[in-house]
Structure formats: structure tokens, C-alpha cells
Amino acid sequence: MSEIKFIENGSVTSVPGFKASGITCGLKKSGNPDMALVFAEKPANFAGVFTSCVFAAAPVRVCQKKVRSSAAAQAFIINSGNANACTGTSGLANAEKMCALTAAGLNIAPESVLVASTGRIGVQMPMDIIEKGIKLAVSGLAADGGNQAAQAIMTTDTVPKAAAVSVEINGKTVTIGAICKGVGMIDPHMTVAPHATMICCITTDVKCDNALLEKLLADNADNSFNRITVDGDMSTNDSCVIFANGDSGVTLEENSAAADIFKAALLALMQNLARKQVMDGEGATKFVAVEVDGAPDTESAKRLAEAVANSLLCKTAWFGCDPNWGRIVAALGYAGVKFDPDKVDVFYDDKIVVSKGGDAGTPEKDLAQILQNREFTVKVHLNQGKGEYWVWTSDVSYEYVKINAEYHT
């Protein structure tokens, strides 16, 4: 397998043929940047995965339609500060108008523009502000504007999130770049089109038809963004899209070695960004990997891992560096999976906490020392099958409550 190399200060514009901008249009009272635009200089193949929330926001619904009706895409307009969710027919019209305004500014077809929004739910878009912002975003496009775009899509994020990788395929260099946001209202379950927010834009220079691009993206989403949780709350606006302009000269075919190499590089990029989201989780002081193995099957392992990762009692114990393993086994017990509790072992990193369903006798001070680390792993061995699953999560701190108690007001 070819070596995957991360590019210093990488972003969506690390890929040749893409430009981006990040500007302030006035949606945020803070005056911080609040609109981003990513532009492919020529029509690109594209795909997307989106929230499975029934209350999917207007921009999500617009994009879901376009990934089925448009052969190519060229632009992605993203605003922060207003989610355009639960806004009815007016919200849909405004999402479509954002695409049309962007298309007019770029002199491209509205069908080739995708849209995403993040921010407060239930508030109509101030389209006068949006229109001025789109004009600024178009005029601000630059070949090195990716990191500015990453900053402009932030909401409660404390740092912008961007990355890029390169990998050699068939003797040629392929580049994949991305920007993303999301540190709260994070528990994505993004699916392919028939079905505070996670938003991601990915660019690449491979040539790949839309169907294969969607499969690669969806498979990798299941092993990256769909494996993270900050607070167990799925957003109305989760969106992840990928553009492929073909400039590298590398063509991907299904079930080919080239596609396998590209998929591995794409996964490395998406997992890097997913990790950054959890590390920057609202008020988070811990990054916790929850790993379950020996379950009856994969679905059982998933339910068990997610029960622990989303348990408020577990998450607050981790914040307090309290190795209260009773909370872990309780979460396992109510996950809705049938198993023999007397066969279960639990570890914090390499220290055993629970042995055969009971206290392993490890001194609490040794366990508490592990929980004082910025990162640690909760390992659950059911010893009752071959099912396994992992989830990345964070703790819940006083700051998380403060951020979300004050978000609306």
C-alpha cells in the first residue's frame, strides 16, 4: 500500500483546481467570519452523505435532490450562524436562492451548486445579508483560501478544522483535501441521498464516477464521522460532500487496486477530521475511545459501544477522573443486547477494571491516574463472539452545559 502523507497546513485548496474563500457577511453578532465558498474551476464529479434526521434542514434536502439529479457540481456555499432548519417552504426557497445567487456570481448553472448551513434552528434566512455575503465570497476566492473557509464555517468550534493528504497511485500523485466543522450536537448518522452540526467538504483530483464516489464516501463515513459522538444529539444539518475534478490523471474503477489505495487515503483524512471534532468537543477535556469486542455480532458491539460513549454518567465521571466502572457496566446492561455478564472484562487502557463481571481489584488510584490523561481507552471484552466496534467520544464538563445553556440567548 502506498504511503499516505499529510500535507502541512492542508485544506480543500491543497488540491489543484480548487479555490475557496471565507468572509464575514454579518450573520453572527460576534462579527466573526460566517460564510465560506469552495469552487472547482471546472465541473467535477461529486457525491454526498447527509443526516438521517427526519427534520432534515432545507439545504440538506436541496443537496439530497442534486446528488441524484445533477451529473456534476462546481461549488459549495456554506453559511454559519443560521441553520435554515424547520423553516418550511420559505426555507427551501432560500436554500435554492443561495445556490442561484452563487451560480450567478460564478457564471455557472444553479444545478451545479451545493449548499449547507449551520447555526440556530427555526429562524428564516436574512436573504439581504446572505446576498451581500455571497458576492463577497465569490470575489474573495483564492487558490490558498481553504483555511479561511474552514474558519468561516465554525460555530462553537474553538479552532478551524482542515487537513489534506497525498498518495501515489499508478505512479501519479493524488491529493485529497478537506475542511469541516462541528463540536456540539454531534452524533452523526449520515447516509446516502435516499435517506450545531457536522459539515464537511472534501476535494480531490482523481477521476471517479458519482456512483463509486458515493460508495467510497459512505463506506468511509461509517468508519469515521459516524463513529463519533460528543453529546448523543444528531443534527438536522449534517452534510459531507466530495468533489473530484480528475486533474491528477488517475481514474478509479470499482474493485481496483487504485480505488483501494484512494479509499484508504480518504479514510485517513476523514478519521483525522473526526478525531479533531471530538478533541474540540464543546467543553471537552477528554478524548475517550470506547472499544468493544467479543460481542455476539457487529450490531450488538455497536449498540454496546454507543451506550457507553453516550452515557451522561460515564461522561461526567470521566470529566471528574472518577474510575466508576459501575456506570460502564450499567450502560452495557441497558444497551438492549443479550449477553452473559459473568464473562465480561473491562479495561482502562491496559489496567483491568472488571474481571468476569465483577471488581478486578485494581487500586482506584491507578485507574484514576489513567483518567487524568487527555486521552484514554475504555476496552470492553465480552468474550462471547466475534462482533467488534469502536466509538470516539468526549467527556461532559461544566463548560458544555454553559455553552449550550447560553447558545440561544
- Rounded distance between C-alpha atoms, residue 339 and residue 73, angstroms: 48
Angle at which helix 325-333 crosses helix 312-319, to 10 degrees, equals 160
Set 13, 197, 362, 393: catalytic member: 197
Look at residues 276, 185, 180 and name the one whose alpha carbon lies nearest to residue 229: 185
236 carries an active-site annotation? no
DSSP 35: E
- Rounded distance between C-alpha atoms, residue 253 and residue 224, angstroms: 23
- Rounded distance between C-alpha atoms, residue 76 and residue 175, angstroms: 19
Strands 351-355 and 161-169: unpaired
Burial 98-134 (b: 16+ CB within 10 A, else e): bbebbbebbebebbbbbbbbbbebeeebbeebbebbb
- Rounded distance between C-alpha atoms, residue 235 and residue 13, angstroms: 27
Look at residues 97, 121, 93, 71 and name the one whose alpha carbon lies nearest to residue 408: 121
Residues 242, 198 contacting (CB under 8 angstroms): no
Give the active site residues. Answer: 197
